[in-house]
Chain A
């Protein structure tokens, strides 16, 4: 085979042929694209994992802090009756038989389970007079109505099993929740848990005196025998399924609206709120509850999901959280967490 002299002259400088360059460029481009995509995916996954891990760590931290607070605590059933009737239009004061355990602000249910059941928000607790002041009537989609003296008034935090677990008549319970001990009918919304714990006001290591355990609470930095405390769900934002295009409670529609809230530890002077109130956020706003239907079923398993579920007979407190973990690869992640605490000191009499 002979070569043309001009061709031979070009060969030393020839470098790559066009086809070589094209093939090499295609290969390099494919590799670069794959690398870029892989790195992007990796970065997204790392961010997602960090978010999930951070959220999980917050929940674990929350449970630890609750355990620390409730280790020797005694639960309080903030349920009482109206000492005088309450008219449908009254917004001033609601007089109670006993306001012990009711937080310094919050929501109560009057005549729970009945046709006249009404949720009422109060702005202030007037402990010396066993009264709730600054009423906002008919909240959470209930209607204002008059309530006779003697009607049951329960703080919305309260949630306990009803006595008749076999076949409770309608109106005597608010829902059925699944539990380690089987399914239990309960009454209440389960939005909080009132408690008190042994205190040492003189800071001399004496938690027991002649009268027994010195019950109270730490209000701010002060340990006081007059103190009372409560863990409370506080909604801070609204979250709609339609906005996020995400069926949070898996009920097959995008119609539901949820409150996104935090869990705070409230403490107050139960003899006179003006002596002091305090609140500490134990868990940031990542807990979900269906708006106007607190304690409803949040995972479509057919059972209600109150946050706090307290059994005064056994001293058992279950805390179930549905937590908005964040957006992972374009999808909201909601995860259920649950813990059970045994309060060795049971319930306050």
Chain B
């Protein structure tokens, strides 16, 4: 109140004898406040830019973690296929013992540093395709399916776990990032040799 009354008095004081504003009036308090507001808006813009930059950096960091995890899983799948019994009857099952349901790490697991999508419990999922007749449309990826996976020249088996020569594997990573839900996926082909 004191400031406002002073401002009013000041405004009156700058009027000449005939009520005209003098050319030497300087800034009024309202002008100073407007300037301050403009500066504050500038400051807020700077702060929000900083927040956005930080958010983008965290987002890039998350993606980097996800890419490293994806590569690790893909490389490990190849190692698992190499380690598995080369006998056709056991090969796919040995891989499933690692990356199938109940295996270690299993077909769904956490990735340190990444949070799963809302309503989901795991970040990484590994889908080993055992059905020769599954289509890309159903799988949701470009895996070149359907195709012959057991090397018998036919595309008719619904489960090749006992005689597979080739296994398409879909690795997906879904995490909650700074800018929303993110996803990375890759199709890997494991060969029995």
- Assess whether A181 is in contact with B104, with CB atoms less than 8 Å apart: yes
Binary per-residue interface labels of chain A (210-239) against chain B in the complex, 1 for a CB within 8 Å, 0 otherwise: 000000000000000000000000000000
Query: A12-B22, A338-B72 in contact; A23/B105 too (CB < 8 A)?
Result: no
Residue of B nearest to A49 (CB): B57
Give residues of chain A (308-331) contacting chain B, Cβ–Cβ below 8 Å.
311, 313-316, 318
Whether A42 sits at the interface, judged by CB under 8 Å, is yes
Could you say which residues of chain A place their CB within 8 Å of the CB of B43?
31, 34-35, 38
Whether A84 sits at the interface, judged by CB under 8 Å, is no
Whether A169 sits at the interface, judged by CB under 8 Å, is no
Binary per-residue interface labels of chain B (93-111) against chain A in the complex, 1 for a CB within 8 Å, 0 otherwise: 0000010000011000000
Could you say which residues of chain A place their CB within 8 Å of the CB of B79?
311, 314-316, 340, 342
Whether A54 sits at the interface, judged by CB under 8 Å, is no
Whether A106 sits at the interface, judged by CB under 8 Å, is no
Whether A346 sits at the interface, judged by CB under 8 Å, is yes
- Assess whether B6 is in contact with A342, with CB atoms less than 8 Å apart: no
Give residues of chain A (31-52) contacting chain B, Cβ–Cβ below 8 Å.
31, 34-35, 38-39, 41-42, 45, 49, 52
Q: Which of these binds chain A: B25-33, B133-141, B177-185? A: B25-33
CB distance from A340 to the nearest CB of B (A): 4
CA distance A14 to B26 in the complex (A): 10
Give residues of chain B (18-53) contacting chain A, Cβ–Cβ below 8 Å.
22, 24-27, 29, 32-33, 36, 39-40, 43, 46-47, 50, 53
CA distance A327 to B6 in the complex (A): 50
Could you say which residues of chain B place their CB within 8 Å of the CB of A88?
none
Give residues of chain B (51-95) contacting chain A, Cβ–Cβ below 8 Å.
53-54, 57, 61, 64, 68, 71-73, 75-76, 78-80, 82-83
CA distance A12 to B18 in the complex (A): 11
Residue of A nearest to B2 (CB): A19
Give residues of chain A (94-114) contacting chain B, Cβ–Cβ below 8 Å.
none
Whether B13 sits at the interface, judged by CB under 8 Å, is yes
Count residues on chain B whose CB falls below 8 Å from chain A CBs. Answer: 45
Whether A13 sits at the interface, judged by CB under 8 Å, is yes
Q: Which of B2, B6, B15, B40 contacts A11 (CB 8 A)?
A: B15
Could you say which residues of chain B place their CB within 8 Å of the CB of A315?
79, 82-83
Query: A12-B24, A42-B46, A49-B57 in contact; A337/B82 too (CB < 8 A)?
Result: no
Could you say which residues of chain A place their CB within 8 Å of the CB of B27?
16, 24
Could you say which residues of chain B place their CB within 8 Å of the CB of A17?
6, 9-10, 13
- Assess whether A20 is in contact with B6, with CB atoms less than 8 Å apart: yes
- Assess whether B24 is in contact with A13, with CB atoms less than 8 Å apart: yes
- Assess whether B82 is in contact with A342, with CB atoms less than 8 Å apart: yes
CB distance from B36 to the nearest CB of A (A): 5
Whether A28 sits at the interface, judged by CB under 8 Å, is yes
CB distance from B122 to the nearest CB of A (A): 13
Whether A170 sits at the interface, judged by CB under 8 Å, is no
Q: Which of A31, A39, A56, A182 contacts B36 (CB 8 A)?
A: A31
CA distance A337 to B43 in the complex (A): 36
Query: A8-B17, A11-B16, A24-B32 in contact; A180/B26 too (CB < 8 A)?
Result: no
- Assess whether A28 is in contact with B32, with CB atoms less than 8 Å apart: yes
Could you say which residues of chain B place their CB within 8 Å of the CB of A180?
72-73, 76, 105
- Assess whether B16 is in contact with A19, with CB atoms less than 8 Å apart: no
CA distance A58 to B3 in the complex (A): 58
Residue of B nearest to A30 (CB): B36
Whether B176 sits at the interface, judged by CB under 8 Å, is no
28 contacts between A and B (CB under 8 A): A8-B17, A11-B13, A11-B15, A12-B16, A15-B24, A16-B26, A19-B2, A19-B3, A19-B6, A20-B6, A23-B29, A24-B29, A28-B36, A31-B39, A31-B43, A38-B47, A41-B50, A42-B46, A42-B50, A45-B53, A45-B54, A56-B61, A182-B105, A340-B71, A340-B72, A340-B76, A342-B82, A346-B82
Interface residues of A (CB under 8 A from B): 8, 11-17, 19-20, 23-24, 27-28, 31, 34-35, 38-39, 41-42, 45, 49, 52-53, 56, 60, 63, 180-182, 311, 313-316, 318, 337-342, 344, 346
Closest 9 CB pairs of A and B: A316-B79, A340-B72, A314-B83, A314-B79, A182-B104, A342-B75, A342-B78, A340-B75, A342-B79
Question: Can you name 20 extra interface pairs (CB under 8 A) apart from A24-B32, A45-B54?
Answer: A11-B13, A11-B14, A15-B25, A15-B26, A16-B27, A17-B9, A17-B13, A19-B3, A31-B39, A34-B43, A42-B50, A63-B68, A181-B98, A314-B79, A315-B83, A318-B72, A337-B68, A338-B68, A338-B72, A342-B79
